[in-house]
Structures are given as structure tokens and as C-alpha cells.
Chain A
């Protein structure tokens, strides 16, 4: 096998996160490249959640529609993932759940129960019948009494049942790996990364016990894939946080919101590391988060805030303020399903237009989007550098899919960039005057003096202002300041290297345009789509000059939103028609298989103008 997907599903808070991390680390220890995706409800515990670990012989960041191996820790998983295991794949389930019926699953959406009732022609189908559907689809069911095994192993080790059952995650992973014929040693090493002390010892003994049990032989197996030292395994939110640190972040504000909070809490937890002593402030709301960051930035501290859609809506006001007074500010926006509260824990790319345009009036802002975990790390550095170079707002777009996805990378992928170019007046003992904060300059950038710089003072205001920073409504000064501010966009587009603006991964008669987290999926899809090219946009505003690349191509956009916001933007900025819009807005990321199927249809000329992708659980 060159690739493999293992899925674990169960109730939230039941340790399936731990299980997936353990599985991913174990196979990564065994030399495989891994990527993990998380799907969870906006809920603390009890509701359904699942994770996919996809492993491959080469670096991986896309996910399959159907998995090879499903571990169902509860009955609900069995029901929800009915179509999700490939023929020939394996279902590991607890036989105790077969006594349940669909209506006995309290957290199951009615829609799922009703669909199943219709399909099986029974008002309240039993899980035995559900299992039969798996069998008919060619899936091999393997009953595995997780709790019984825990109790049995626990008894052998002299451990009470309650304690033994806390190792269910380890049992699920160990049983999976044992069935796949994968050696125990990498799992033991992964356990050592996860646990400490007595807990580690217990989990190790449990894993060993599972490996001593007889298991049926599967038609496929998982071997070691050599060993690649120097790899790291981290999430997009962690990569973005690390990137901010690498970019010199000193001050971060946030109001709790899914899925953005992980970044800020990571920063809060790591201030003891050299150079990472960032002041992190949890504010009363996102209005305070953005304006407090602006206040910090004015003193010369590299400052940022992180949020998701609802919080970003509140930040529109503060971002305009930063744009007007020319404060350097980074807003990291983790998009999630909107509008309103929307789908708090599901992915979407629905905020592109809002990121570009949200707020009243016009001011220069830069918008960049990360496609994967390495991008998140590098882009966070660029965002900070650009905010300071252009003394304005930079919106760094990520999404829930990327925030919670984890991936193994070579450590070298996380390199610290040397970016500078700040225009600052250096403090002098005799003072920095005569100084005009908003002095005109050809590139639109006026030298900056942080508040508290000795030897002088100046003013700034959110009103339109004169060179000194005093309020004015004079039409000539208004034009001068407006033009000075907006000039920064032209300067940025000229100065930012093309490789930071977009990447033409491959040219083709059919040219796919994408932004953000469709990147990994599309790049892998392209491997089986000769003749199809891919242009990945990194900088969304100022919009790169790409019209010449689109000449004579059949253009198709792929993105996670309803209307095809990138398509609109491309048409507006290049005057080229986008022939097909592939969109998905059910909150689940586009799978590799969906992307291939959609692009095959486009290439064959059979596709409609609008293709909606609807897969996912």
C-alpha cells in the first residue's frame, strides 16, 4: 500500500482525539507521512466527532472520500459513516452496539435516522441491519469488544475496570495496528510522546497485551516505511502561532471563539520560551481585541489578534481605525461556516469578500491566505512584516479545516524568514522634530514614530487629518491623505515578490484557480489529471496581476463557499470569464476524490457552470 486512511469515530470528550494523535504518531514513527483531519460538533462532550489519519509514502495534506479502516467506538459512528468505508475496507466495532436501534441514539440528527428508515424500510432499524449494509457494500466487519478487552487486560495487570477503560484509545489504536500487522515498537514510542509516568506505563502494558492477543488476518497490511528523522507533527493553528512568534509578535489579543482560540491559548502557554514572551490579553469582545492590539502597535510592539467570522464582523470598525491612523495590525481570521453563528466548528471560505471589503469607507489592506500548515507558518511572518512595512491592516486568512488539521513536515519547512523594510524614525536625544506623522511620500509610507519615543510627540485621529494628525475637513488635505494611504496598495503590489502573490504550479488548457486550503487537495488531484493546470493565489489583495496567465484557458475555480467568491473576484480584476465554479458549503472539506471527479467533468467539457460538491459526514 502506498497510502492508507484510518478513521476513528465516537463521542466527543471520549478520547478519540488522543487516539488519532497516537495513531498518527505511531505510523509517523514508522516512517509514513501523515495528515489528520478533525470533524467535531460545537459541544463539550457527547456529540459525535471523528478524525481521519491519512498516511502516505510522500508528504500528504489531502483526504479521501472513503476510508480503508473505520474504528467505531459507539453505535452512532456505525450509523453516520455508513457510506464512508471503501469496499474491501475494515470496520472495527463494538458488538455491544448491535443491540441498539437507530432511535436509541440520542445525538443522531433526525435527518440521518429518517434517511436510514427509508432506506431500510423500517421505522426504527436496528444496528444489526445497519451492519448488514456495510457487509453488502463489501466492508469487512470485525467485532471488537473494546470495554471487555480493557477489563480483561486490566484484570491481568491488577488494574480496576474504571482505570483500565481510560486506556480505550490506546486499545483502539493498538488493535488497529495489530490487525494491520504493524510492529509494536513505533506505537510504544508514540505512547512515550503522549503520556508520562504511571499513565505511560499502564498504556504501554495495555498495548503490549493487545499485541499478544490473537487477531484475524486482514487482506492488507501496513509495514514500516523506513525512518525519516527531523520531522514534526503539528496543527495549522499551532503553525500560525509559531509563525507569529518567528515574525516577532509581542502582543496578542483575543476573545474566545472557535476555531481561532487554539492559536492564542498556544501563545499563552509558551511564553517561557526565549523570544516567545508575548503579552496575551483575553478581552471582553472582539471590538476590544482589535482596538487593544492597535493601541499596543502604536507603541512599537508587533501586535495581532485572531478571530473567526462573528468576531471578524465586530472587528470591521477597529480595522478601519487602524487603516485610517496607519497603525500596523495583523488580524488572523480563521474562517468557519457562516453567516451569523453558522457552523462554528465546520470549515468554509465564505469570508473572502468580507476580508477584502468589510467596513465603511476605503483604506488600504492586504489580504493573504494560507493553503497548508507550512504556509500558515510562513504567512504569519509575512503578515507581520507587511503590516509594519505598509503601516496598515493585514488580514491573514485560514479556516477551520487548516486550523485543526495536523500534518507531519520536515522541520526545515518551518524556516524563519528575514523580512524587514520598516520605515521608522530612529529616536534622537535632541528629539525627532520637526516631524509630521502623515507627511506625504511617494510610496505612501510615512516614517513611523512609536508612542513614547523620547524627544517629541504628535497626534493622530480617526477623523480625516492633516499632516500633523489634527482633524481636518479640508478637501485638498482629504485628497492628499486618501491618496497617500491608498498609494500603499500600489507600492505593496510592486514590492511583494511574485512568489508571495501566487504560484502557477502547472499550466494547462483547463486552468484551476484556488486559494487557501483547497491547495493540498488540488495539488494531489492534479497528479491524475494531465492537461489540467493549477494557479494558487496567495495574495488576495492587492489582487495580483494574473490576467496574462488566464488568456485562452478554460477557467475553473474551486472553493469552500456558496457563490464562488474567488470567481467573482477574478472576473472583476482580470475581465476574464470563469467558466466553472466548483463550490462546497456543507462545512466539510473537499475530498481528493470529489476534486478529481469534478475536474474530470470540467476537462471533458461535460460540467455545468456551477458544480456543488456535497460529500462528507
Chain B
């Protein structure tokens, strides 16, 4: 592969997001992360759901698959399992991942396929003009809503934790450098990484603006928070780790933490598949059928 420059990861296509949209920062961070990790564009696939954020793949010079509303995770997992040598990043908004796609979000945690999922959280359905997203708080009223939100908020970090994501982090769309580092770490984490990105929507969300976020955000790692969950912890040590996670995951209001919250090691789904596909991942589905089928052998159990 030729030496690629940062600009080589940028597609010709111009983003059609609103001026000041947090999506720009996330896109830049993703481009920079892929560049700094020297990812081969032909071995990298960015999948997305539907919504403003889901247009991301069109602006990147890697394989890009813009899927269905809420279905990005199953499509991405299917590709990654069929070709485990791919670097897979899935992206989508809060409505996509935690509204219509919530079932897939939870099920993905149970599998721990080796990939990164970035959730762009602006608390609203932007592309349909600002309806309440699943992360908008109960009683909150953005300027796009006729009435205060009658439904409560999902805490994405707690849900990811309950579902079994092995790497859980939060970034901020306007902190491009910090976000880039988190994306790099998430891509390199062996297992399913979940990156929750706080993202102002300047057009529809007048509650949680960049002016609102700026004084509140702080970095966990600068305060000595250690997300690592080493193997072999005693139940008491694990309890303390979980309590520490929970304390930070629910922190919201005056202070809002960013950084890595949880980092654990569990066998990936690829490793679990080995139990019944002994030659996986060396021989993987995308390679096609490498040897003729032993039909004769298979028919033996049916022979009369």
C-alpha cells in the first residue's frame, strides 16, 4: 500500500450537515484516527444507520455502507464475522441506536464482535426536524418540540454495560483530538467497543448546546479514573469496579465525564465461533467454499 496522507481518507463528496453540526467534528476525528492507525481503506468498512450522522460513510475514502434505520449493528456484525480481517466501524445516531435499534444494541453486547460502534448523541431526530430522541430527558423541551418530552431518557453507558460491551467510553464532538484518541483506542480494543459521543444539534437542540456542555465536561482520566478491569479480580474487587463505573456513568448536570469508563477482556464472538468452526478465523466465510462438500459423508446418517 502506498503511504497515505490524511487527506486521502476524505472523500470528494461534501457533507450536507447544518453549519456548526457536531457531525463535522466526529467525521474529522474518525478520518484522523483511521489515518493515524494507517488503516488500509480497502480493508476498512464504515457502516451507518439512517439519519444525519449516518451519512458519515459517504465522506470517507474507505468502504462505506449506509444501511437501514436502526440496523447498522447486525449488518456490520455480519460483515465482520464473514471477513474477520476487516476493520469495522459502525456509526449512527441516538434514535437509530437506542430507539429503533435498541434490540440490536443490546444483542450486540452479548456477542462482543471485534468492532467499534460510535453513537452520535444529539438527543433529537434531526433529519425529521427535531423530535425527541431516546436520550432526551423527561420533561425537557427543545425548541423543536411543541410540548415537554413525556418519555424518559436511556442512559447509553449503563445500557451498554448491562448488555456486556467490553469497552465503554464517552467523547465530545467538539473535542476532536480527544475524540480521535478514543476512536483509535476503540478500534484497537479486542471486542465490541462502544463510544458515546455528546453532540450539540445547533438547529433543533437549544438545551444542550456547546455553550452548555463546555463548562461541564471533564476528562475522567485526568482525575485518575482507571477503567481497566483486569482478569482474575475477586468478586469484591469487581463490585468496586462496577460501583465506580456506575457512579461516573450516571453523573450528569454540573459535571459530565468523558473518557474511557470500562475496559474489560472477554473472548470475542470470533473466538467463540471457533468452538464449532475449528478453522475459523483462518478459513472464514468471505473466502467462499474452499474444499468440495463431503456430501457422501453427510448422507451417511440418512442411509437406509
Cross-chain contact B78 with A233 (CB below 8 angstroms): no
Residues of A close to B299: CB separation below 8 A: 232, 242, 411, 414
CB distance from B198 to the nearest CB of A (A): 26
Q: Is A234 an interface residue (CB 8 A)?
A: yes
Q: Is the CB of A296 within 8 A of B79?
A: yes
Q: Which of B56-112 contact A (CB under 8 A)?
A: 57-58, 61-68, 71, 73-83, 85-86, 103-104, 106-107
Q: Would you call B86 and A299 a contact (CB within 8 A)?
A: yes
A268 touches B276 (CB 8 A): yes
B225 beta carbon closer than 8 Å to chain A: no
Which stretch from A75-83, A161-169, A455-463, A609-617 is at the chain B interface? A455-463
CB contacts (< 8 Å) of B103 on chain A: these are 284-285, 287-288
Whether, in the assembled complex, A300 has its beta carbon less than 8 Å from a beta carbon of chain B, the answer is yes
| A121 CB, nearest partner CB in chain B, Å | 49
Closest A residue, CB atoms, query B85? A452
Pick the contact of B67 from A246, A297, A301, A321 — CB < 8 Å? A321
CA distance A321 to B277 in the complex (A): 29
Within 8 A of B (CB), among A268-285: 268, 270-279, 281, 283-285
Q: How many residues of B contact A (CB 8 A)?
A: 63
Interface presence of B233 (CB below 8 A): no
Known contacts A234-B302, A462-B68: A299-B289 contact under CB 8 Å: no
Contacts of B292 in A (CB 8 A): 274-275
Distance between Cα atoms of A288 and B55 in the complex (Å): 21
Cα A284 to Cα B103 with chains together (Å): 7
Q: Which 6 A-B pairs have the closest CB atoms?
A: A295-B78, A301-B285, A284-B107, A275-B293, A250-B285, A292-B78
User: Could you tell me if B68 and A291 are in contact, using CB atoms closer than 8 angstroms?
Assistant: yes
- Taken together as a complex, chains A and B put the C-alpha atoms of A155 and B140 apart, in Å, by 78
| Sample (21) of A-B pairs whose CB atoms are under 8 Å apart | A245-B293, A268-B276, A275-B289, A275-B294, A287-B103, A288-B74, A295-B76, A296-B81, A296-B286, A301-B83, A301-B286, A302-B285, A302-B288, A321-B67, A408-B304, A414-B295, A431-B42, A454-B43, A460-B65, A462-B68, A471-B58
Q: Is the CB of A452 within 8 A of B83?
A: yes
Give bound CA distance, A548 to B120, whole Å: 58
Q: For A299, list chain B residues within 8 Å (CB).
A: 79, 82-83, 86, 285-286
B53 to chain A, nearest CB (A): 14
Knowing A234-B302, A288-B104, A453-B42 are in contact, say whether A276-B74 is a contact too (CB < 8 A): no
State in angstroms the CA–CA spacing of A469 and B45 once bound together: 14
Smallest CB–CB gap between B60 and chain A, Å? 9
Assembly CA distance A408 to B303 (angstroms) = 9
With beta carbons under 8 angstroms apart, the residue of A274, A318, A321, A457 that contacts B63 is A457
Interchain CA distance A457-B43 in the complex, whole Å: 9
- Beta-carbon contacts of A167-204 to B below 8 Å, as 1s and 0s? 00000000000000000000000000100000000000
CB of A175 to closest CB in B, whole Å: 22
Among B66, B77, B298, contact of A276 (Cβ-Cβ < 8 Å): B298
Q: A238 vs B299: C-alpha distance in the bound complex, in angstroms? A: 10
Please report the C-alpha to C-alpha distance between residue A270 and residue B302 in the assembled complex, in whole angstroms.
13
Q: Do B41 and A457 touch across chains, with their CB atoms under 8 A apart?
A: yes
Q: List residues of chain B with CB within 8 A of the CB of A325.
A: 65
Contact of A251 among B78, B104, B302 (CB under 8 A): B78
Nearest chain A residue, comparing its CB with the CB of B297: A273
Interface string of A572-598 (1 = CB under 8 A from B): 000000000000000000000000000
Bound form: Cα–Cα A242–B295 in Å: 8
Interface residues of B in 273-291 (CB under 8 A from A): 273, 276-280, 283-291
A251-B78, A301-B83, A303-B78 known, 17 other contacts, Cβ within 8 Å? A232-B302, A232-B303, A245-B295, A246-B295, A275-B294, A276-B293, A279-B277, A296-B81, A300-B83, A300-B287, A318-B71, A450-B83, A451-B79, A454-B43, A457-B41, A458-B64, A462-B67
Q: Which of B50, B82, B291 is in CB contact (< 8 Å) with A250?
A: B82
Decide if A292 touches B302 in the complex (CB within 8 Å).
no
Interface centre among A272, A301, A458 (most CB of B within 10 A): A301
Q: Contact check, A248 vs B66: say whether CB atoms are below 8 A apart.
A: no
Q: How large is the interface on A (under 10, 10 to 19, 20 to 34, 35 or more residues)?
A: 35 or more
State A245–B295 Cα separation when bound (angstroms).
9
Query: Is A51 interfacial (CB-CB < 8 Å)?
Result: no
For the complex, what is the distance from the CA of A234 to the CA of B297, rounded to whole Å?
14
- A25 within 8 A of partner (CB): yes
B240 to nearest A CB, angstroms? 32
* B residues lining the A interface (CB < 8 Å): 13, 40-45, 47, 50, 55, 57-58, 61-68, 71, 73-83, 85-86, 103-104, 106-107, 273, 276-280, 283-295, 297-299, 302-304
A462 touches B74 (CB 8 A): no
B285 close to A233 (CB less than 8 A): no
Within 8 A of B (CB), among A303-339: 303, 317-318, 321, 325
Q: Mark A524-554, 1 if CB is under 8 A from B, else 0.
A: 0000000000000000000000000000000
Q: Which of A248, A277, A293 has the most CB of B within 10 A?
A: A277
Tell whether, in the assembled complex, residue A274 and residue B294 are in contact, meaning their CB atoms are under 8 Å apart.
yes
Complex contacts, A456 vs chain B, CB 8 Å: 41-42
Contacts of B289 on A, CB cut-off 8 Å? 248, 250, 275, 302
Inter-subunit contact B78/A25 (CB<8 Å): no
Q: What is the chain A residue whose CB lies nearest that of B286?
A: A299
Q: Which of B42, B277, B287, B290 has the most CB of A within 10 A?
A: B42
A458 touches B285 (CB 8 A): no
Contacts of B78 in A (CB 8 A): 251, 253, 281, 291-298, 303
Contact B288 A248 (CB under 8 A): yes
B68 touches A318 (CB 8 A): yes
Any chain B CB within 8 A of the CB of A416?
yes
Is A231 located at the chain interface by the 8 A CB criterion?
A: yes
Nearest chain B residue, comparing its CB with the CB of A471: B58
| Closest chain B residue to A190, Cβ basis | B304
- For the complex, give the distance between the alpha carbons of A293 and B81 in Å: 10
| Inter-chain contacts of A453 with B (CB < 8 A) | 42
Tell me, rounded to whole Å, the shortest Cβ–Cβ distance linking B43 to chain A.
6
- The smallest C-beta distance from A415 to any residue of chain B, in angstroms, reads 9
User: How far is the CB of A153 from the nearest CB of chain B, in Å?
Assistant: 27
Given contacts A288-B74, A459-B57, contact A271 B277 (CB under 8 A): yes
A54 at the interface (CB under 8 A from B): no
**A277:B304 contact, CB within 8 angstroms:** no
Chain B residues in 8 Å Cβ range of A278: 285
Contact A233 B302 (CB under 8 A): yes
* Residues of A close to B67: CB separation below 8 A: 291, 321, 462
Are A462's CB and B50's CB within 8 A? yes
Report yes or no: A295 in contact with B77, Cβ–Cβ below 8 A.
Answer: yes
A234 nearest in chain B by CB position: B302
List, in ascending order, chain A residues with CB within 8 A of B71's CB. Answer: 287-288, 291, 317-318, 321
Q: Which of A7-49 contact B (CB under 8 A)?
A: 25, 28-29
Bound state CA distance, A414 and B298, in angstroms? 12
Q: A285-B103, A296-B78, A303-B78 are in contact. Are A460 and B285 (CB under 8 A)?
A: no
Residues of chain A lying within 8 A (CB to CB) of residue B13 = 470
Chain B residues lying within 8 Å of A318, measured Cβ to Cβ, are: 68, 71
Which single member of B41, B62, B79 contacts A295 (CB below 8 Å)? B79
Which residue on B lies nearest to A228, using beta carbons? B304
Q: Which of A283, A298, A302 has the most CB of B within 10 A?
A: A298
